[in-house]
Structure 1
Amino acid sequence: MKQFFTVLGGMGTLATESYCRLLDERTPTHRDQDYLDYIVLNHATVPDRTEWILDHQKPDYNPLLIEDIQQITPLKPEFFVLICNTAHYAFDRLQAATSIPILNMLQETVDEIKNIAPHAKRVGVLATRGTIASGLYDSYIQNAGYEEVKPTPAILDATEDLIYHDIKEAGHSDGKKFHELVRTMIEDQKCDVVILGCTELSYANEMNPETEFPVADSQSIIVNRSLERALAIRNGNQ
């Protein structure tokens, strides 16, 4: 297979399924052969990213992702897509493992804010405790000239309840919880737009789309960037 890309997924599995579903839905097709060629690594046993970020005595997820990247690199994919915001904590370390580009979900998400909310000044972030505690989005948001608004402890607790209890553990999303998180960030925290900085939140948005308030959905955005890049390669424009 040539002109394919590789999805580094399984973090978690429902979010990876969401990525593939959205990618296929958005691909312009009239026949089987119009869909994109890609490999999905649903590496569900990768250790929890947040646990390691908060406590380096916990199992490190990076060696397994690096091994995945090194195993796939000889197959010569055009690019990699890393379907986990929190795993970008060691993005430079992962990119150093291959000469093949890895799309940067965080950078792409922040870049898209100018199109989602052109007049935005205050950008909120909903994400895992690891993403928030490590300041993963900080430099991207600040370099783009925005003021970052992080969730309060209560909002963070509610976010992780949705991510870990409802989606990762129970296998479903609670639309009411999800929409309340976004509303709280917009109305109570005075944000102009909210980054969904966890692919489980993107899954929640797919299941129960947020239509009242502006959100920068990291997974939806990286789906679009994947599609654009893959089609450009197919058409010989890259």
Structure 2
Amino acid sequence: MKQFFTVLGGMGTLATESYCRLLDERTPTHRDQDYLDYMVLNHATVPDRTEWILDHSKPDYNPLLIEDIQQITPLQPEFFVLICNTAHYAFDRLQAATSIPILNMLQETVNEIKNIAPNAKRVGVLATRGTIASGLYDSYIQNAGYEEVKPTPEILDATEDLIYHDIKEAGHSDGKKFHELVRTMIEDQKCDVVILGCTELSYANEMNPETEFPVADSQSVIVDRSLERALAIRNQNNNN
């Protein structure tokens, strides 16, 4: 297979399924052959990213992802997509393992804010404890000229309950809980837009879309960037 890309997924599996579903739905098609060629690696047994970020004595997820990347690189995908915000903690280390570009979900999400909320100044982040504690989004938000608003301990606890208990453990999303998290960040924390900085939150947004308040959905954004890049590569090759 040529002109394909690789999805590094399984972190978690429902979020990876959501990515693929959205990608296929947004691809302009009239026949089977119009869909994109891509490989999905659903590496569900990768250790929890947040656990390692908060405690380096826990199993490190990076060697497994690096091994995945190095095993797939000889197949020459056009690019990689990493379907986990928290795994971007070691983005430079992962990119160093291959000459093939890895799309940066965090950078692309922050770039999209200007289209979602053109006048935004205060940008809230809902994410895992690992993403928040390590400040994964900090430099991206600050370099774009925004003020970052992190969740309070209470909001973070409620966010992780939705991510780990409802979605990862029970396999379903509580729409009311999800919308309340967004509302709290917008109304109580005075944010102009909220980044959904975990693909499980993106899954929650797919199941129960947020329509009242502006959100920068990291997974939705990377779906669009994947689609744009893959179609551009296809069109370029068709024109040669």
Q: TM-score w.r.t. structure 1 length?
A: 0.99
* Structure 1 residues 237 and 154, CA gap change in structure 2 (3 angstroms): farther
- How far the C-alpha of 1:132 sits from its partner, in A, is 0.1
- Unaligned runs of 5+ residues in structure 1 are none
Identity of aligned residues (%): 96
Cα deviations by residue, 1:150-192 (Å, 9 ceiling, x for unpaired): 0000000000000000000000000000000000000000000
The 1:19–1:7 alpha-carbon spacing in structure 2 relative to 1, beyond 3 Å, is same
Deviations 1:61-120 (A, max 9, x none): 000000000000000000000000000000000000000000000000000000000000
**Deviation, structure 1 residue 237:** 8.0
How far apart, in 1, do the equivalents of 2:131 and 2:202 lie? 15
Find the aligned partners of 2:2 and 2:98 in 1 and give their Cα distance.
Answer: 18
Q: CA deviation at 1:207?
A: 0.1
CA distance, structure 1, for counterparts of residue 137 and residue 37 of structure 2: 30
- State the Cα distance separating 1:6 from its structure 2 match: 0.1
Q: How many residues in Structure 1 have an aligned counterpart in Structure 2?
A: 238
Q: Deviations over 1:184-225 (max 9, x none)?
A: 000000000000000000000000000000000000000000
Q: CA deviation at 1:236?
A: 5.4
User: Equivalent residue of 1:8, what SS?
Assistant: strand
Structure 1: 4+ residue segments shifted above 4 A: 235-238
Q: Distance in 2 between matches of 1:116 and 1:183?
A: 17
Q: Aligned pair in 2 of structure 1 residues 237, 177: CA closer, same or farther (>3 Å)?
A: farther
TM-score by length of 2: 0.98
List runs of 5+ in structure 2 lacking aligned partners: none
In the TM superposition, what whole-angstrom CA distance separates every residue of 1:126-164 from its partner, at most 9, and x where no partner exists? 000000000000000000000000000000000000000
CA 1:21–1:100: 2 relative to 1, 3 Å? same
